[in-house]
Amino acid sequence: MLKVFSSPDISHPIFVMNQILNQSVMEFAQPDREIFNQLVTMKMPYGKYKDVLLCDLPVSYLEWFQRKGFPQGKLGMLLATLYEIKSNGLTGLLTPLKGK
């Protein structure tokens, strides 16, 4: 026997909640382009790798920060983000931005 399903009841509370959750997840999942742009344009302001673009920092340096603690503020957030990108093999996300 063939069952015919009607369209969902868009006023049903579960349907409404799923729509809200899906929208919230999609908004949350969108990367902040400005962060990516800063990773490929901002240079390390101090230390062994002073004046090296953040995206060009070696993973070993980022791992050191991860163990010792990232700096406070914007730089720390960028380095922590870069650590996650590099340690998860996602450096390809930055490649298209490096040439701009």
Q: What is the pLDDT of residues 68-82, one digit of tens each?
A: 999 999 999 999 999
Is a pLDDT exceeding 90 seen at residue 19?
A: no
**Whether 100 contacts 46, CB under 8 Å:** no
b/e per residue 32-43 (b: at least 16 CB within 10 A): eeeebebbbeee
pTM of structure: 0.68
Task: Provide the pLDDT for residue 30.
Answer: 59
